[in-house]
Structure 1
Amino acid sequence: MSLPDGVERHEFDGTTSVATRGHPEYGERTDGEWRRWDPHRSKLGAMLELGMDTGLSGGETTLYLGAAAGTTVSHVADFGGPTYAVEFAPRPARDLVGVAERRSNLFPLLKDARKPETYAHVVEPVDVLVQDVATRGQGRVARLNRRFLGDDGRLLAAIKARSEDVTADPESVFDEVLDDIGSEYEVLETERLSPYHDDHLGVVARPRPE
């Protein structure tokens, strides 16, 4: 699988890893201007490290749901176009604002991904929807935010089994979420994100035509 423009493999202290060019944000190792995209700290980084076909080519307009303090979305903004970062919790959102100050194309939004109507007036149509939310109803969140994606866009989601049901078998949870997503998206690829993230499923999907 080819990497997007602006994402390259570099060696960091004997470890070869995907990397982007930008300001370091979370103590990641660097090689000149390049910063390691640590797959243990990033589900999307793990998807790229595992060779999933994300469809990313570089320069895409992106809506990122569950941006937290900006670990992953900082890398996305490094190689992408306009990047809208939705985070619900005020504390990590403050850190996210700091990350955005160093990236003119990153726009933090203190909003709830379950209520896209609250930011629909701000977010333009996007090429990519990245979802990494720790909440029940992850399939519903993906469906609600379908409104921002063009028909040829991509959903890149990290489904967290423990956020849906701590006691349930993860495979059963994944099947339920995929069934939910299926009403609005065609699932193209799935892969467990082990060994980087336990009980997580990486999902690549494209929206069904409206």
Structure 2
Amino acid sequence: MSLPDGVERRAFDGEERLATRGTPVYGEPTDGQWRLWDARRSKLGAMLELGMDTGLSAEDRVLYLGAASGTTVSHVADFAGPTYAVEFATRPVRDLLDAAEDRARLFPLVKDARKPETYAHVVESDLDAVVQDVATSGQARVSTLNKQFLAEDGRLVAAFKARSEDVTADPDEVFDDVLAELREDFEILDTERLEPFHDDHLGVVATPK
């Protein structure tokens, strides 16, 4: 499995696990300057643990949708370049702001990922990656709306939650619908269910058409 530069496997309690070099954010274990990246608390971490080729690399310019309290996006900012963190819910934003204090490359935006026009004047164009983890209906639509920020060879790296679309539907059917919608605007490069780390989630890597 190829990990992005700046992401390594380190020993925590005798087990090799993902880690980035940075200031701890959510009470995670550390090994010197390295902090555990817990795949059970991070969809992107799970994608890396499962061997998905995300295409992410050091110094990438990233738009992160659904930053929440900063658990995952702080790891991204540890190895990536400028990282724009979009989060709409006010409750976790304070923690996100705290995570950004020690990370000069992390830029929190209290915005709605479904309304990219509200942050288009701040976020760069031709970004290397859009990383998405938004727990809302219309997740594929969010990807399409934010495609405008990606370079032609950029990557969408997204985790889709079946129950955010339809609590009662079979997750496989939900994911089929999500992928069908995505294929209108993206070429799908890789997909993987995120069990055992996250139930009823699908990891997707895609590039704009």
Q: Distance in 1 between matches of 2:56 and 2:193?
A: 19
Greater mean alpha carbon deviation, residues 89-98 or residues 60-69: 89-98
Q: Distance in 1 between matches of 2:141 and 2:208?
A: 14
1:6 counterpart residue number: 6
- For residue 57 of structure 1, report the CA deviation from its aligned partner: 1.9
> How many residue pairs align between the two structures?
208
Q: Distance in 1 between matches of 2:81 and 2:57?
A: 11
Letter in 1 for 2:106: L
Q: Distance in 2 between matches of 1:116 and 1:166?
A: 26
- For residue 108 of structure 1, report the CA deviation from its aligned partner: 0.2
* Percent identity between the two aligned chains: 72
- For residue 56 of structure 1, report the CA deviation from its aligned partner: 1.3
Q: Distance in 1 between matches of 2:15 and 2:27?
A: 16
2:155 counterpart residue number: 154
Q: Distance in 1 between matches of 2:152 and 2:86?
A: 22
2:188 counterpart residue number: 187
Matching of residues 52-131 of structure 1 within 5 Å: 52-125=52-125, 126-131=127-132
Q: Distance in 2 between matches of 1:102 and 1:57?
A: 21
Cα deviation digits, residues 69-99 of structure 1 (max 9, x gap) = 0000000000000000000001111110111
* TM-score normalised by L of structure 2: 0.98
Cα deviation digits, residues 19-71 of structure 1 (max 9, x gap) = 10000111111100000100000000000011000111211000000000000
Letter in 2 for 1:140: R
- For residue 132 of structure 1, report the CA deviation from its aligned partner: 0.0
Q: Distance in 2 between matches of 1:187 and 1:173?
A: 16
Matching of residues 168-187 of structure 1 within 5 Å: 168-187=169-188
Q: Distance in 2 between matches of 1:112 and 1:85?
A: 11
Q: Distance in 2 between matches of 1:11 and 1:59?
A: 25
> Structure 2: any 5+ residue segments left out of the alignment?
none
2:46 counterpart residue number: 46
- For residue 163 of structure 1, report the CA deviation from its aligned partner: 0.3
* TM-score normalised by L of structure 1: 0.98
Letter in 1 for 2:107: F
User: What's the Cα RMSD here?
Assistant: 0.6
| Stretches of 4+ aligned residues off by more than 4 angstroms | none
Cα deviation digits, residues 116-162 of structure 1 (max 9, x gap) = 00000000021100000000000000000000001100000000000
Query: SS where residue 77 of structure 2 aligns?
Result: helix
Q: Distance in 1 between matches of 2:104 and 2:58?
A: 16
Q: Distance in 2 between matches of 1:78 and 1:192?
A: 26
> Structure 1: any 5+ residue segments left out of the alignment?
none
Letter in 2 for 1:41: R
Query: SS where residue 54 of structure 1 aligns?
Result: coil
Letter in 2 for 1:207: P
